């Protein structure tokens, strides 16, 4: 769509700013409900600056005592699979299973088991002997037991976001790549200006901008959403493990989570190599200007972990590295609420490193809010966000 066409079209019901996983699903589900929607993104859906970019993201059901996220993940997986089936893109969900590595006395994992049971989610509790039998390449160290979610797995992130946007376009969503000018401070928003000189008119506006939210609304969100630099590494498998029966391949090794050491690993998918990252929050980061070269310190930390957990890869070559970002709220809960100074503006973000999987459920919730079919969830409201970081949601 050209700038001229956009300027003359003043009849959008909703403008969604940000074509990451939250914005794309919101636009798609709003359009499915009958709204006329425009979706904008400065760099394009699934771009390499976006928190929703990159190759892969886990989709797991376990969240300790946080049943709200377990149920959102349940709903989201169903919607992801329905979309992929409709687009004949089943490979965008890889059912690797998700394995939790737990300490002998592990309050979080014990709570996860209880929540999975309440929500009737298929899972297995594996003792140390069974872990050793099934996953002999993992050095367990202090791990005493584990939880396997056999029906969970990995979403192919960049491709999945683009699939949502493509499907949204087929049902009438207007998609436009352009950066917006930050909106004014208060009142009712009637339109948004873009840096290329365009103007977008709508009745409602959704800002699902991830790490750009505190840049667009610095007075409101500058101290409530912290953007951190996160490094991801891919390691090449030894030639002796190239076949599908290798214990390092996704056919035999699940994606796994070690929240004691704040590390996660994903077996080789799409011939990209074994993915591993440290989940601890990194230093502050600017998504527009930040350097995206991984650090030698980050690589050293990952190799040190591999030497104790997966020593067969301790000296494996790095085949790819990536610097992305988390946009963290004070405790890891999402932000989904109306802007306090705008009657028709919604703020959607705070993925906090775990949000990708929940895109469909977030989109449903935002669509229901705009349609006045639900109320803001207390945990997601702006008033619950604090300036002091105390991470509670993993």
> What was the pLDDT predicted at 184?
83
Q: Name the burial class of residue 75, with classes exposed (0-12), middle (13-18) and buried (19+) by CB atoms within 10 angstroms of its CB.
A: middle
> What was the pLDDT predicted at 248?
80
Residue 1, pLDDT > 50, answer: no
SS3 345: strand
Domain contains 59: no
| CATH number, position 317 | 3.30.9.10
Give the C-alpha distances (Å, rounded to integers) separating 315 from 90, 138, 198, 303. 34, 15, 52, 7
Domain count, the chain: 2
Whether 92 and 27 share a structural domain: no
Domain contains 67: no
State which of 307, 326, 345 marks the end of a domain.
Answer: 326
State which of 326, 341, 376 marks the end of a domain.
Answer: 326
Cβ atoms of 210 and 334 within 8 Å: the answer is no
| CATH number, position 19 | 3.50.50.60
Quote the CA–CA distance of 164 and 359 in Å, as a whole number.
10
Whether 261 and 309 share a structural domain: yes
Whether 123 and 36 share a structural domain: no
Domain contains 394: no
Q: What single string gives the DSSP state of each residue in 199-252? A: EEEEEEEEE--GGGHHHHSHHHHTTTSEEEEEEEEEEPPPGGG-STTSTTBTTT
pLDDT in tens, 150-203: 999 999 999 999 999 999 999 999 999 999 999 987 678 999 999 999 999 999
Whether 288 and 217 share a structural domain: no
Whether 173 and 318 share a structural domain: no
Whether 173 and 320 share a structural domain: no
Quote the CA–CA distance of 382 and 9 in Å, as a whole number.
32
Whether 339 and 351 share a structural domain: yes
> What was the pLDDT predicted at 246?
78
Domain contains 363: yes
Quote the CA–CA distance of 193 and 168 in Å, as a whole number.
23
Q: Name the burial class of residue 2, with classes exposed (0-12), middle (13-18) and buried (19+) by CB atoms within 10 angstroms of its CB.
A: exposed
Structural domain that includes position 242: 82-152+226-326
**% of the chain with per-residue pLDDT over 70:** 97
Whether 95 and 171 share a structural domain: no
Domain contains 346: yes
Whether 234 and 126 share a structural domain: yes
Sign of the alpha-carbon torsion through 116, 120, 125, 131:
negative
How many Cα neighbours within 13 Å face the side chain of 290? Answer: 24
Quote the CA–CA distance of 348 and 334 in Å, as a whole number.
8
Residue 5, pLDDT > 90, answer: no
**Averaged pLDDT, 227-245:** 89
Quote the CA–CA distance of 223 and 236 in Å, as a whole number.
39
| Beta pairing, strands 93-94 & 153-156 | antiparallel
Quote the CA–CA distance of 191 and 12 in Å, as a whole number.
10
Domain contains 393: no
Whether 146 and 233 share a structural domain: yes
**% of the chain with per-residue pLDDT over 90:** 90
Cβ atoms of 309 and 139 within 8 Å: the answer is yes
Quote the CA–CA distance of 232 and 219 in Å, as a whole number.
31
> What was the pLDDT predicted at 285?
98
Whether 219 and 239 share a structural domain: no
Quote the CA–CA distance of 36 and 56 in Å, as a whole number.
31
> What was the pLDDT predicted at 10?
53
Residue 3, pLDDT > 70, answer: no
Quote the CA–CA distance of 173 and 1 in Å, as a whole number.
11
> What was the pLDDT predicted at 271?
84
pLDDT in tens, 65-116: 999 999 999 999 999 999 999 999 999 999 999 999 999 999 999 999 999 9
pLDDT in tens, 9-63: 458 999 999 999 999 999 999 999 999 999 999 999 999 999 999 999 999 999 9
Residue 7 pLDDT grade (very low, low, confident, very high; cuts 50, 70, 90): very low
pLDDT in tens, 276-321: 999 999 999 999 999 999 999 999 999 999 999 999 999 999 999 9
Cβ neighbours of residue 198 closer than 8 Å, sequence gap 6 or more: 3, 6, 7, 176, 178
Alpha-helical runs (H) found in the chain = 3-8, 21-32, 67-86, 107-118, 128-134, 157-170, 213-216, 218-221, 296-309, 359-370
Q: How many CB atoms lie within 10 A of CB 390?
A: 8
Domain contains 73: no
Domain contains 219: yes
Phi/psi of residue 96, nearest 5 degrees: -70, -20
Cβ atoms of 236 and 287 within 8 Å: the answer is no
State which of 309, 326, 343 marks the end of a domain.
Answer: 326
Whether 138 and 245 share a structural domain: yes
Quote the CA–CA distance of 29 and 180 in Å, as a whole number.
23
Model pTM?
0.96
Residue 216 pLDDT grade (very low, low, confident, very high; cuts 50, 70, 90): very high
């Amino acid at each position: 769509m050209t700038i001229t066409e956009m300027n003359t079209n003043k009849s959008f019901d909703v403008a969604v700013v940000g074509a990451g996983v939250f914005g794309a699903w919101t636009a798609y589900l709003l359009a499915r409900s009958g709204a006329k929607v425009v979706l904008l993104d400065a760099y394009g859906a699934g771009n390499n600056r976006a928190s929703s970019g990159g190759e892969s993201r886990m989709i797991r059901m376990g969240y300790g005592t946080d049943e709200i996220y377990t149920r959102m993940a349940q709903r989201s997986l169903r919607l992801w699979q329905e979309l992929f089936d409709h687009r004949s893109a089943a490979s965008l969900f890889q059912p690797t299973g998700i394995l939790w590595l737990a300490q002998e006395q592990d309050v979080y994992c014990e709570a996860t088991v209880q929540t999975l049971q309440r929500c009737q989610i298929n899972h297995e509790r594996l003792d140390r002997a069974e872990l050793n039998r099934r996953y002999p390449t993992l050095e367990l160290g202090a791990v005493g037991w584990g939880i396997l979610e056999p029906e969970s797995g990995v979403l192919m992130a960049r491709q999945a976001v683009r699939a949502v946007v493509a499907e949204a376009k087929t049902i009438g969503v207007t998609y436009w790549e352009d950066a917006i000018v930050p909106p004014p401070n208060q009142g009712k928003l009637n339109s948004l200006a873009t840096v290329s000189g365009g103007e977008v008119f709508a009745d409602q506006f959704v800002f699902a901008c991830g790490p750009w939210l505190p840049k667009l609304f610095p007075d409101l969100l500058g101290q409530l959403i912290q953007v951190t630099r996160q490094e991801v590494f891919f390691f090449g498998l030894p030639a002796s493990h190239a076949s599908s029966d290798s214990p390092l391949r996704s056919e035999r090794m699940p994606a796994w989570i070690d929240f004691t050491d704040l590390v996660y690993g994903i077996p080789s998918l799409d011939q990209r190599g074994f993915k591993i990252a440290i989940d601890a929050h990194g230093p502050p980061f600017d998504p527009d200007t930040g350097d995206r070269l991984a650090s030698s310190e980050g690589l050293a930390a990952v190799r040190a972990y591999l030497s104790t957990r997966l020593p067969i890869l301790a000296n494996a070559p790095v085949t790819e590295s990536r610097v992305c970002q988390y946009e963290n709220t004070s405790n890891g809960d999402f932000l989904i609420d109306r802007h306090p100074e705008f009657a028709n503006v919604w703020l959607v973000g705070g993925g906090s490193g775990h949000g990708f999987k929940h895109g469909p459920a977030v989109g449903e919730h935002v669509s229901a809010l705009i349609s006045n079919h639900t109320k803001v969830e207390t945990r997601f409201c702006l008033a619950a966000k604090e300036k002091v970081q105390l991470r509670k949601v993993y």
